[in-house]
Every structure is written in structure tokens, then in C-alpha cells.
């Protein structure tokens, strides 16, 4: 019989034990924890919109107009005008026929991928795909294949082999535009070309790209003008958008099928309409001159730390205890930077995951760079 105490002791010995450490303040560019003020480099609030006055005011306005909760699932009586307006806005900005929102990005993946592919079909995933994408693919019952991270040669060979053996099967390629733990980009143009050449569908997770990349801030597909060539554009409203929830943008027929078949949509209470109301305002802000200015400030901050294509910057230590010690050292110096370990990343690749925001003062970013440099060079530590 499983004894939880034994498992917890093993996790602690391996440097994998986790616990909840609440903040004593809102999660802005700086936070308070245990009575100390820390620069927050752990948040995914890349544009600082979770604390933007206009977004907060719109959220409060939504509560006043539509109530604090939705009270039912979307198919019962939980659908209100803000949900529909948000989905119309997402579809317009992602250049698709329709969109559908969920309670989280995880729920989006779990609800949609098993509808797209089943037991007679195939799903091909990038090895570093997010856990939600992996779990959803397993849940589908489809045959799974994995290609090494961003290895287009292997992806091409898998597509050719599967299509030759199963000419009528659905083949779904699943990847991320910005990878959540490495912060690098997928070779999206090549992936789109390969999926089209083999009659496959592409499921692109833009969770860490929406708000950050693109002329309109709608992600890597927006930046490369590929939105109309991608079957499924998934993302979240909980990172750069500054709120909570997930979405998928696709054709009208696929969205209608998700409404009828996506279990995480059908059997969940609808997200609060006030969240949807504020999310629409956030998307409009992102696709505005102010949004463009925030992205420019964000990438200026990124360059203070490293020449990097996204706000997610890893510093890999390898060992769990070494990484935990590095995070503790940074916290003692006034910086909140999370230690990321297995199973979030592969064994032996434990890392500090730095998340940059447009709301960080440049001085805080340069101070963090010096503190990280001191970790890598113990002789320079004070």
C-alpha cells in the first residue's frame, strides 16, 4: 500500500519536494514574501497587465454588470455576452472563423486534442511539449510519436512513414511556439510546410507567445503571417493577457464540434463573465500602440539580461540541490527566481527559470544579471 510519508521522504532526498509558499502581496514586478520585498522574476505576467489600472477597472466593471460567477456550464445557462464577445475577438485577432474559451490552458488541451484524434489516428509531439499537451494526447487514445526538440528531419520522416502506412488517418502535429521552460521558438514556417505537404493538422500552443510576439501581439503565427495556415491555435489568457483561462481558435466546424464533444468544456462551470469582459479589453490593449510600446519595453529588458527571443530565460545547473541552492541565494539577494526540476523539465536539466516583464525597471534586470553571474563565478560573490 502506498505510504505518502515514504514518498515525501524520497522526494525530499532527491531535491524534488515542493510546497506552497504564499506571497503577502499581489504578484507584480516586486512582491512581499515572509516580510521581505523581492524583485519578482517568477511570474508569466510578461506585459504587466494583471496590475494594469484599465484592466483592473474593466474587471470590476464586469463584476458589477454580470456578477461574480457564471453559475452554470456554458451549455446550460453559463454563457453570457462577455464570453461570446471574447471569443469573437479572439477569432478576429487570430484570423480564424471562430474560437472557444475554457477555464484554463490545461482544460483547453485536455478537451480539444481527444476530439481531434482518436484510436485510429496519430499524434506527433515535440519532445519538450507541455505536460497538458502530452496528457491530452495520451487521453485521446491515438498512437503517439515523439520527435527530438525542433528536429525537422525527424518530423519529416515520421510524417512520411505514417502517411504511407495510413493514408486516411488523422495526423496531428503538436508543438509550442515559445517553449515554456527553454524560451526558444519552434521553426514554425517549416512545421507548417511539412504538415501541409503530408495532409496533417497542426496544433500550436501559443501560451507564452500571445501578447509577446507579432505585429499585433497575437503570437509567433502572427509574427510570421501564418495564422490562416494553422488548423488549431491554442493559448492562455493567464500569462501576458494578465487574467485566467484558455482558448482555441479554429474553423467554425471544429469549434462547433468542440462545443459538443470537448468534455472539459461541457462538464465545467463557465469562467466568470467578468474575466471574459476584462480579457477582451486586455486583447484590445495588446493590439494597440500601447501594447506595441509594452512589447518594445519587454524586449529592451530581455536584452539587459541576454540576447534571447522570448521573456523565458533558463539558467541550467543540472542538479536539483544545486539549483535549489542557487534560487535560495538569489532570494537572499532580493530576487524571486524559481528552481525548476523534474518532472517539469527532464532529469539532469534542473534550472533557474527567469521570466522578464515589461514592468521590471531596467535597474532590477541588470542587478539580477550581476547576481546570476556571481552564482556562476563563486569567486565574485561578496
> Looking at residue 2, what is its pLDDT?
87
For residues 216 and 75, the answer to whether their CB atoms sit within 8 Å is no
Answer for the pair 259, 265: CB distance below 8 angstroms, yes or no. Answer: yes
Based on the fold, state whether residues 196 and 333 are members of the same structural domain: no
Q: Phi and psi of 312, rounded to 5°?
A: -95, 115
Distances (CA, A) of 336 to 23, 35, 68, 87: 11, 13, 32, 35
Task: Give me the number of domains the chain comprises.
Answer: 2
**Average pLDDT, integer, range 89-96:** 98
Query: Is the torsion defined by CA of 143, 147, 152, 153 positive or negative?
Result: negative
Mean model confidence pLDDT for the chain: 96
270 & 360 share domain: no
Question: 295 lies in a domain?
Answer: no
Which pLDDT does position 381 carry in this prediction? 40
- For residue 264, being part of any structural domain is answered with yes
The predicted structure's pLDDT at residue 376: 66
Instruction: Specify whether 287 is catalytic.
Output: no
What mean pLDDT is predicted for residues 5-34?
A: 93
Report yes or no on 122 lying in a domain: yes
Q: Let me know whether 195 and 165 are in one domain.
A: yes
Residue among 52, 93, 198, 239 flagged as catalytic: 239
What number of CA atoms fall less than 13 Å from residue 21's CA on the CB side? 14
Asked, for residue 10, whether it belongs to a domain, the answer is no
Residue 159: band (very low, low, confident or very high) from pLDDT cuts 50, 70, 90: very high
CA distance 108 to 352: 27
Catalytic residue among 40, 44, 70, 104: 44
Q: What residue numbers bound the domain in which 322 lies?
A: 24-46+311-380
208 in active site: yes
Three-state SS at 55: helix
Distance CA 100, CA 97 (A): 11
Q: CB atoms < 10 A from the CB of 154, how many?
A: 16
pLDDT (tens digit per residue) in 298-332 = 999 999 999 999 999 999 999 999 999 999 999 99
35 and 80 fall within a common domain: no
**Residue 294 is assigned to a structural domain of this protein:** no
Looking at residues 241-262, what average pLDDT do you find? 98
Same domain, 157 and 248: yes
Q: What pLDDT shows up at residue 378?
A: 44
Residues 35 and 65 in one domain: no
Q: Helices then strands (H, E): number in the chain?
A: 14, 13
Q: Model confidence at 377, in pLDDT bands (50, 70, 90)?
A: low
- Would residue 19 count as lying in a domain? no
* Distance separating alpha carbons of residues 323 and 317, to the nearest angstrom: 6
Model confidence band, residue 379 (pLDDT cutoffs 50, 70, 90): very low
Catalytic position from the list 176, 182, 206, 222: 176
Pick the catalytic residue from 208, 216, 277, 360: 208
The confidence band for 375, taking pLDDT boundaries of 50, 70 and 90, is: confident
Strand 246-250 relative to strand 232-236, pairing: antiparallel
Residues 267 and 337 grouped into a single domain: no
Q: Would you call 154 a catalytic residue per the annotation?
A: no
pTM of the entire structure? Answer: 0.95
Residues 330 and 201 in one domain: no
Least confident interval from 16-20, 148-152, 286-290: 16-20
Checking if the pLDDT of 380 tops 60, the result is no
Model pLDDT for residues 341-367, shown as the tens digit of each residue: 999 999 999 999 999 999 999 999 999
Q: Are residues 35 and 58 in the same domain?
A: no
Q: Please tell me which residue in 52, 83, 94, 130 is annotated as part of the active site.
A: 130
Query: Residues 57, 185: one domain?
Result: yes
Q: How many residues does the chain have?
A: 382
Residue from 276, 210, 278, 244 nearest 54 by CA: 278
Q: Verify that 87 and 67 share a domain, yes or no.
A: yes
> Mean pLDDT throughout 210-236?
98
Assess if residue 91 is contained within a domain: yes
Q: Is position 149 annotated as part of the catalytic site?
A: no
Instruction: Select from 352, 354, 322, 266 the least CA-distant residue to 73.
Output: 266
Q: Catalytic residue at 32?
A: no
Q: Report yes or no on 293 lying in a domain.
A: no
User: Could you give the CA distance from residue 31 to residue 45 in angstroms, rounded to a whole number?
Assistant: 13
Which one of 45, 121, 205, 222 is the catalytic residue? 205
Of the three residues 269, 286, 303, the one that is the final residue of a domain is 286
Which residue carries 493514408 as its cell? 167
182-198 per-position pLDDT tens digit: 999 999 999 999 999 99
- In this structure, what CATH number is given to the domain that contains residue 35? 3.90.1150.10
CATH assignment of the domain containing 273: 3.40.640.10
| Catalytic residue check, 97 | no
In sign, the C-alpha dihedral spanning 119, 198, 158, 208 is negative
CA atoms within 13 A on the CB side of 35: 0
The residue annotated as part of the active site, out of 40, 132, 137, 180, is 180
Q: Within this chain, do residues 198 and 337 fall inside the same structural domain, yes or no? A: no
Amino acid at each position: 500500500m502506498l505510504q505518502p510519508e515514504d514518498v515525501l521522504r524520497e522526494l525530499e532526498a532527491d531535491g524534488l519536494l515542493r510546497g506552497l509558499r504564499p506571497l503577502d502581496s499581489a504578484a507584480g514586478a516586486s512582491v512581499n514574501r515572509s516580510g521581505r520585498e523581492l524583485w519578482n522574476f517568477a511570474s508569466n505576467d510578461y506585459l504587466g497587465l494583471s496590475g494594469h489600472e484599465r484592466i483592473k477597472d474593466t474587471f470590476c466593471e464586469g463584476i458589477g454588470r454580470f456578477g461574480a460567477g457564471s453559475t452554470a456550464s456554458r451549455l446550460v445557462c453559463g454563457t453570457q455576452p462577455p464570453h461570446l464577445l471574447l471569443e469573437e475577438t479572439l477569432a478576429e485577432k487570430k484570423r480564424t472563423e471562430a474560437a472557444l474559451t475554457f477555464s484554463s490552458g490545461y482544460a483547453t488541451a485536455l478537451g480539444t486534442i481527444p476530439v481531434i484524434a482518436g484510436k485510429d489516428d496519430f499524434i506527433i509531439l515535440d519532445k519538450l511539449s507541455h505536460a497538458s499537451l502530452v496528457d491530452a494526447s495520451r487521453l485521446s487514445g491515438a498512437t503517439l510519436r515523439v520527435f527530438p526538440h525542433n528536429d525537422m528531419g525527424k518530423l519529416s520522416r515520421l510524417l512520411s512513414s505514417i502517411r504511407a502506412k495510413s493514408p486516411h488517418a488523422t495526423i496531428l502535429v503538436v508543438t509550442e511556439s515559445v517553449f515554456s521552460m527553454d524560451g526558444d521558438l519552434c521553426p514554425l514556417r517549416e512545421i507548417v510546410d511539412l504538415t501541409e505537404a503530408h495532409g496533417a493538422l497542426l496544433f500550436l500552443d501559443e501560451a507564452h507567445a500571445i501578447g509577446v510576439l507579432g505585429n499585433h501581439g497575437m503570437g509567433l503565427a502572427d509574427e510570421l503571417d501564418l495564422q490562416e495556415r494553422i488548423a488549431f491555435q491554442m493559448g492562455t489568457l493567464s500569462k501576458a493577457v494578465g487574467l485566467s483561462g484558455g482558448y482555441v481558435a479554429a474553423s467554425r466546424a471544429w469549434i462547433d464540434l468542440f462545443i459538443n464533444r470537448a468534455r472539459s468544456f461541457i462538464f465545467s462551470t463557465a469562467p466568470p463573465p467578468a474575466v471574459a469582459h476584462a480579457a477582451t479589453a486586455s486583447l484590445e490593449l495588446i493590439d494597440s500602440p500601447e501594447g506595441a510600446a509594452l512589447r518594445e519595453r519587454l524586449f529592451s529588458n530581455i536584452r539587459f539580461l541576454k540576447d534571447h527571443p522570448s521573456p523565458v530565460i533558463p539558467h541550467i545547473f543540472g542538479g536539483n540541490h544545486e539549483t535549489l541552492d542557487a534560487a535560495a541565494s538569489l532570494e537572499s539577494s532580493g530576487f524571486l527566481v524559481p528552481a525548476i526540476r523534474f518532472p517539469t523539465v527532464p532529469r539532469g536539466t534542473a534550472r533557474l527559470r527567469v521570466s522578464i516583464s515589461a514592468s521590471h525597471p531596467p535597474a532590477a534586470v541588470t542587478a539580477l544579471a550581476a547576481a546570476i553571474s556571481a552564482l556562476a563565478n563563486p569567486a565574485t560573490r561578496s
